[in-house]
Amino acid sequence: MTDDTTLADRIDDALPQTQCTRCTFADCRAYAEAIAGGEAEINQCPPGGAQGIARLAALTGRPVIELNPVHGVEGPRRVAFVDEAWCIGCTLCIKACPVDCIVGAARRMHVVIEDQCTGCELCIPACPVDCIVLEDATPGASGWAAWSAAQACEAREHYASRRMRLERDRRENDARLARKAVGKLAGLAHHSSLTDPAALEGKRMAIEAALARARAKRSVA
């Protein structure tokens, strides 16, 4: 049987999938591709720690090196908790969470699904009232000793699911705006306060151009 996996695939499988961005890349996959392409070092992932670096060294043939402190330090896995006394229900932490493990509604208290939290810390700077705290979930264990392949796989699935949801929401919003624009275009004179024919024609051309750009964007996507 032929192995169709690429080096980037194998590197991605060796990463903890916390999606924390501490490596300076948008997500674990982007970091994996950068390593495979020779554009990043193997020591930029604090959640993976020393064992993670050893894994990446074995995959890439590069020498084992120490974790770059610029990206953070190896430590126990931490889990986020929301202080209900301070939460204002702004939903900013929900939008920041890469694995959709924070649930709640606008102006309602939010709650972290502890088992799904990767400890990425991205919700911390997003909170305007500093009501999120991090607690050690694995005292005495760090890196891959505080994380498992099963947890990494689950985190990647949650991340992928979130990206699909966001893309679906974007498409639905684009479609809604397009329908609204088509409706206004059909009755432009009625919907607009403009009366000058030249001005109305200019507005019509602008709307048609916007619709054309939206259609082109959808065809590329």
pLDDT at 183: 67
pLDDT at 108: 83
C-alpha triplet 58, 64, 55: angle, nearest 5°: 35
Residue 25 phi, psi (nearest 5): -105, 160
pLDDT at 1: 37
User: Chunked in runs of 10, what are the mean pLDDT values of the chain (221 residues)?
Assistant: 77 98 98 98 98 98 98 95 92 96 88 95 96 94 95 97 91 77 66 66 70 66 56
- CA dist 163 and 140 (Å) reads 33
pLDDT at 198: 74
Q: Is the sign of the CA dihedral 66, 134, 118, 100 positive or negative?
A: negative
Which candidate, 81, 78, 82, 80, places its Cα nearest to that of 139? 78
pLDDT at 52: 98
pTM: 0.79
pLDDT at 192: 66
